[in-house]
Structure 1
Amino acid sequence: MAPTLYDEKPEVGDLIEIFRGSYQHWAVYIGDGFVVHLAPPSEVPGAGANSMMSVFCEKAVVKREELWDVVGTHQWQINNGLDKKYEPRSAHVIAREARSVVGQELPYCVFRGNCEHFATELRYGKAESRQARKAGEYVMAAGVATVVGLGFVALAGALFGGGKKEKDNKQ
């Protein structure tokens, strides 16, 4: 049995965060030991680095599986961290809507429609992914750093590289 970070039992409608190493997988607890989650083809408990292939997926399937089958050997926790920001919907509504989409193939995008977006939309009626936002901020910062770095290279070239041309033109 995989360890939890806290000694809590999930209740219907709770969001389950599963730590897969470089990312977190999200599911919604629907009772009787089952969760519903959006699973790209590479999302299996033992996938390890292969699960990062979900970055390239365009479709994922909504699955109803036992919590322990989804968790595998990874740590997990109940994470209803957006409860301070959004009002959770009733447990009955969350579970009913989760069950109603099981088996459906949905669009999948790491930045706009991942498993965390799916789970938060079921709980709050709003799709949000804090890990996608953080990844987007990282990508944006890396892009800005690249542009700034290229700007410095261009500036250095203009300041220090032009002298040789002037010297060649004078000869």
Structure 2
Amino acid sequence: MANLKQGDLIEISRWIIKHWALYVGDGYVIHLTLASEDANAVSIIEKVVGEDKAKVKREKLEDVVGQDKYCINNHLDKQYEPRPIEDILQDANSRLGEKHRYNLLRNNCEHFVTLLRYGVPQSRQVQ
């Protein structure tokens, strides 16, 4: 996708759920992913009610997307002003390797990237 800009939110369609990542430039994204994730949406859905371990990773966009469809979706830009790009990137990079408790309803990948871009953790797919 040629029009990607640093700080853009990337929405990746995976079966009935969405995975979210933050574009950081040069073909890379930073995202919160299940430590045990095998790109199988069914295994993720099984964890809806429970919590699992997650890790912040920097990976090539093409590797994260695989065969799935994706788009730029800065969906909260009308509600919140995005933070300065320098702040977004610095915050995102400083979190690399962090381990989190992943919970689809309270602490998921969309919460993570909206916190980075807007300073507010939100998840439309949960609401």
Instruction: Report the TM-score when normalising by structure 2.
Output: 0.92
The structural deviation recorded for 1:10 is 1.2
1:126 matches 2:116: no
Partner of 1:31: 25
% identical aligned pairs: 48
Partner of 1:101: 95
Partner of 1:167: none
Partner of 1:146: none
The structural deviation recorded for 1:42 is 4.3
CA distance in 1, matches of 2:104, 2:92: 20
Give, as a single letter, the amino acid of the residue that structure 2 aligns with 1:97: D
Gaps of 5+ in 2: none
Gaps of 5+ in 1: 1-6, 134-171
Residues 1:96 and 1:54: Cα distance change in structure 2 (over 3 Å): farther
The secondary structure found in structure 1 opposite 2:30 is strand
Higher RCO (Cα < 8 Å, 6 or more apart):
2
Give, as a single letter, the amino acid of the residue that structure 2 aligns with 1:71: V
How many residues are paired up? Answer: 126
The structural deviation recorded for 1:40 is 1.1
The answer to which structure has the higher helix fraction is: 1
Alignment of 1:16-165 (within 5 A): 16-45=10-39, 47-55=40-48, 56-133=50-127
The structural deviation recorded for 1:58 is 2.9
CA contact (8 A) 2:23 2:30 kept: yes
The secondary structure found in structure 1 opposite 2:114 is helix
Instruction: Report the TM-score when normalising by structure 1.
Output: 0.69
Spell out structure 1 runs of 4+ moving beyond 6 A: none
